[in-house]
Structure 1
Amino acid sequence: MKKVSAIALSTAMALSMALPSKVNATSRVDQLLSNMSTRQKITQMLMVDFRYWDEDLSDGAQTTGHEFTKMNDQVRKIVEDYDFGALIYFAQNIQKTEQSYNLSMAMQKAATKDGGIPLLISADQEGGSVYRLGSGTALPGNMALGATHNTEYAKKAGQIIGSELSSIGINTNLAPVVDVNNNANNPVIGLRSYSDNADVVGNMASATIAGLKDYNVIGCAKHFPGHGDTATDSHYGLPIVNKSKAELLNNELKPYKIAINQGIEMIMTAHILYPQLDDTTVVSEKTGNEEKKPATMSKAIITDLLKGEMGFNGVVTTDAMNMKAIADTFGESQAVKLAIEAGADLICMPTVLYNQEDVKKLDTIIDYVEDAVNNGEISESRLDDGCRRILTVKENRGILDWKESNFSLNKAL
């Protein structure tokens, strides 16, 4: 796939312009966007993972046991050829400092070959029970921080995490959790939440995000509009939160509004049904039935509420699309299309990539979305808005100017 030209990457002008999407992009971003094909825009809106990789499939085995810790020729070629906007690491990828550093440098060198756009490289480094960096500091979780009601501790936690991630080339943290812990039976949030008080959650999360930003790491508030009051884990089923907008604004949505007011750059959607916000359905190509749309696929929730009423101008990323809350009901291609239609800018893990054969699934998804653009189901302006948001945050964090010489293995160690 042809890369965006190096000339476009180096074109930076001082004037900025207000765009209809309310995203303030520089002329540099607009220049990049103008040089991107429809297919490049679609792939820029994908966040992929290489948690495991199997190079040798000559015996036909589809094993998934080889942890991907070191760049190989197959993955290098994929990253060189596709214009992915982002990459997500798991614990399998970032086990030791030098190894993690080398992997990130190799990933960015592959992405930027022939003038390509540098990656958002992300991980779920929440602290507490959810962290990925094998050599990182094991911090107390959010509930412990929240119990202090001291935002300076939350900021310090963000600074520690930010310093460690940035040193090995990770520029995006898919954290903190800003779910309000208002259901004691919640199977997936619990200790990951700062508090059952929405204001405490918002203030502590914003302090953590500010700490991350001190080390130029993007924070991501999750899981919008709120995963706190559920009794089902969306990894394994489809939760329902049957609350009115007024109830949500008074509780679950409060932390997001606080974070938005303080300049949050990324928010992750939840694979949860909110029937009082959106009760529309769509025919699933997988089940053949009319299916309700979770927040990740809801234009009313993402575009109208989050980007419209709440004024969020940053990047909306989905939670992993292989979670059962989505995957049990929708096929991969339709799920990605519906999420983009709804207003999601970055699609996390559109398919599982374990080997070279899996790349065919990725091509099928990209083809499907491109067809949806060509037949008018998805507008080109929707792709432009998503890419503009992604490129703008990359510009603001200096990621567009990525150079290996800006990093140091000795510093990381």
Structure 2
Amino acid sequence: MGKRMKKVLASAMSLSMVASMAMSGVSATTSRVDSLLSNMSLRQKITQMMMVDFRQWKTADEEAKSDFTKMNSEVQKIVEDYDFGSVIFFANNIKETEQSFNLTMDLQKAATKDNGIPLLITTDQEGGIVYRLGSGTALPGNMALGATGDVNNAKIAGEIIGSELSSLGINTTLAPVVDVNNNANNPVIGLRSYGEDAEMVGKMASAEIEGLAEYNVIGCAKHFPGHGDTATDSHYGLPMVNKSKEELLNNELKPYQVAINQGIEMIMSAHILYPQLDDTTVHSDKTGKEEKLPSTLSHKILTDLLKGEMGFNGVVVTDAMNMAGIAATYDEVQAVKLAINAGVDLICMPTNITCLEDMSKLDAIIDGVEKAVNDGEIQESRLDDAVTRVLTLKENKGILDWKESNYSLEKALATVGCDENRAKEREIAAKAVTVVKNENNTLPLNVTKKSKVLLVAAENNQR
């Protein structure tokens, strides 16, 4: 495990509180953020740019790893010692309401020990086929929301997600998906997209973001610059979209521009090649060959296009760095260094951590970035920009002022998966039912007592 990082933030954290404000990207920095940054060591800046997961864990006295659902002394010390910017939850972590509440509180208490900086606690609560909160309201999913034709239903979905997550202390959801569903053979987006109309996708996403904001939950538009028109899943390979900038601006990039104009605070990059946006190659330490740069590692795409031309001032987060779209071509240290130089502000899952021994891999990444800064390969100003964006987001959302007393288990139990939310879920699902084909006027069905009806569901729990 790495050496304990001293917390030197007490003076900054004791500054007078700055009023919470609505955020359009990242606004001008405050004296509080500047003071926090000036008191951080180089290693603290590096770890503040990391979103780590403790999906499963094996303690020193256990024979096998298991789902991490309850704080243990090993993880507690890691979170106390490393100034992580964020922790991401999976379904493995948040199964029951009380258990999820306690885990969130324990992680924040560990992070804030000795005046440490509170965490962005995130999860992929999209609704539909991708949702993490075991006791929460699942929702029909984005394609169903799009099928209703009513942006208010997307806003309601955002409100449901926001209310349930915020009651648990989960302050960020890696949603909505704003990919345009313009490839029927797409193996990973499909139902996760609002639809194939870029304008409609942008409006639906904006409404959902608005709903999340009502509960002060950070939304994250993904997967930039667009994962809709791919036939490869970037979890398992490296997709390529060979479209011109003009084509992308007229379709894939439209919803992102709408979300940026709406004030989205976080955008996730995709591990996808866009050769007409960036045909740069770099020498891979892993393959020993010249390799192309996917969006996550592309300065032209993340800095020049997204932050420059499109005017995004918020936090750029990567998709998980252990996905084959990155990990098959670049080793962990090089991948993180390239991502930082590309313009990434928050690195999702730079390495898999499931036991104390795995911390050596994380230390190697931190060491590698620190050396790159000292050698001039990465400018410290790039780290300062990234950390400023992360800290400003935390300040604007009140996360820097996290207190356990602001949360209540009773409220969480009364909110997560409540009857009101589930009733709204059923209403949206009913409105989403769409007749695609009605040959011979089969519908509406004329069902009698003697009729036999076959109900087919995707899973045995969908009843």
So what's the TM-score if we normalise by structure 2?
0.86
Tell me if 1:52 matches 2:56: yes
One-letter code of the match for 2:35? Q
Amino acid aligned to 2:131:
Y
Q: Find out whether 1:111 has 2:111 as its counterpart.
A: yes
SS at match of 1:218: coil
SS at the partner of 1:25?
coil
Q: 1:22 to 1:410 in 2, by over 3 A?
A: closer
Deviations 1:189-220 (A, max 9, x none): 00000010001001100110111110010000
Describe how 1:388-407 pairs up with structure 2 within 5 A: 388-407=388-407
Counterpart contact for 1:45–1:346, Cα < 8 Å: yes
- Give the C-alpha shift of residue 15 in structure 1: 11
Secondary structure class of the residue paired with 2:329: coil
What is the alpha-carbon distance in structure 2 between the residues aligned to residue 152 and residue 175 of structure 1? 17
What secondary structure is seen at the aligned counterpart in 2 of 1:329? coil
Cα distance, 1:36 vs structure 2: 0.6
Tell me the residue number matched to 1:238: 238
Name the stretch that deviates more: 262-271 or 141-150.
141-150
User: Is 1:100 equivalent to 2:104 in the alignment?
Assistant: no
Q: Measure, in 1, the Cα distance between the counterparts of 2:43 and 2:16.
A: 24
For 1:43-98, what per-residue CA distance to the aligned partner results, in whole angstroms no more than 9, with x for missing partners? Answer: 0000000000000368xx6x44x000000000000000000000000000000000
Q: What's the CA shift for 1:2?
A: 1.1
Please give the secondary structure, in 1, of the residue aligned with 2:304.
helix
Unaligned runs of 5+ in 2: 414-463
What residue is the counterpart of 2:9 in the other structure?
5
Code of the aligned partner of 2:86: A
* CA offset digits 1:361-406 (Å, max 9, x no partner): 1000000000000011110110000000000110010000000000
Equivalent residue, structure 1, for 2:145: 145
Amino acid at match of 2:125: Q
Please give the per-residue CA displacement for 1:165-205, whole angstroms capped at 9, x wherever unaligned: 01111000000100000000000000000010001001100
Change beyond 3 A, Cα 1:135–1:15:
closer
Q: 2:341 is matched by which residue type in structure 1?
A: E
- Mapping of residues 328-367 of structure 1, within 5 Å: 328-367=328-367
Return the offset for 1:3. 1.7
Correspondence list, 1:217-256, <5 A? 217-256=217-256
Alpha-carbon distance, 1:140 to partner: 0.6
Measured against aligned partners, the alpha-carbon deviations of 1:306-326 in whole angstroms (never above 9, x if no partner) come to: 000000000000000000111
Q: Work out the CA distance in 1 between the residues paired with 2:229 and 2:189.
A: 9
- Alignment match, 1:80: 80
Counterpart mapping for 1:6-405 below 5 A: 6-12=10-16, 23-56=27-60, 63-64=64-65, 66-405=66-405
Q: Structure 1 pair 312/15, CA: closer, same or farther in 2 (3 Å)?
A: same
Contact 1:257 1:310 in 2 (8 A): yes
Aligned partners of 1:92, 1:10: CA distance in 2, in Å? 36
Write the deviation string for residues 6-50 of structure 1: whole angstroms up to 9, x where unpaired: 22112247699xxxx985211111110110111100000000000
| Aligned mates of 1:220, 1:48 — CA distance in 2 | 17
* Contact preservation (8 Å) 1:4, 1:117: no
Separation of aligned partners in 1, 2:257 and 2:26: 17
Match of 1:42, as an amino acid? I
Distance 1:105 1:177 in 2: 28
| Higher-RCO chain (CA-CA 8 Å, sequence separation at least 6) | 2
Supply the RMSD in Å over aligned alpha carbons. Answer: 1.5
User: After TM superposition, what 4+ stretches of structure 1 lie above 3 angstroms from structure 2?
Assistant: 12-16
SS of equivalent residue, structure 2 residue 305? helix
- CA distance in 1 between counterparts of 2:297 and 2:27 reads 21
Contact persistence 2:167–2:408 (CA under 8 A)? yes
Offset from partner CA, 1:227-260 (integer Å, 9 cap, x none): 0000000000000000000000000000000000
| CA distance in 2: counterparts of 1:278 and 1:22, whole angstroms | 26
Retained in 2: the 8 A contact 1:43–1:83? yes
Question: 2 CA distance for matches of 1:13 and 1:408?
Answer: 23
Larger radius of gyration: 2
Identical aligned residues as a percent? 74
Residues 14 and 27 in structure 1, CA contact (< 8 A), matched pair in contact too: no
Q: Tell me what 2:452 maps to.
A: none
Contact 2:26/2:393 (<8 A) preserved: no
Contact 2:26/2:389, CA 8 A, preserved across alignment: no
CA–CA distance in structure 1, aligned partners of residues 204 and 232 of structure 2: 25
In 2, Cα distance between the equivalents of 1:15 and 1:208? 25
Distance in 1 (alpha carbons) for counterparts of 2:403 and 2:149: 39
Could you tell me how far 1:138 is from its partner in structure 2? 1.5
CA contact (8 A) 1:22 1:313 kept: yes
Give the Cα–Cα distance (whole angstroms) in 2 for the partners of residues 102 and 13 of structure 1: 27
Structure 1 counterpart SS, 2:219? strand
Count of aligned positions: 405
Separation in 1, partners of 2:228, 2:169: 31
Matched residue SS, 1:69: coil
For residues 390 and 8 of structure 2, the distance between their equivalents in structure 1, rounded to whole angstroms, comes to: 15
SS in 2 for 1:195: coil
Secondary structure of 2:312 counterpart: coil
Following TM superposition, by how much is the alpha carbon of 1:4 offset from its aligned partner in structure 2, in angstroms?
Answer: 3.5
State how far apart, in whole Å, the 1-side matches of 2:404 and 2:33 are. 22
Give, as a single letter, the amino acid of the residue that structure 2 aligns with 1:105: M
Q: Deviations over 1:264-302 (max 9, x none)?
A: 000000000000000001101011000000000000000
2:212–2:218 Cα contact (<8 Å) kept: yes
Q: Mind listing any 5+ residue stretches in structure 1 that lack a counterpart? A: none
Matching residue's letter, 1:311: G
- What secondary structure sits across from 2:57 in the alignment? coil
SS in 2 for 1:132: coil
CA-to-aligned-CA distance 1:298-353 (integer Å, 9 cap, x gap): 00000000000000000000000000111111101110110001000000000000
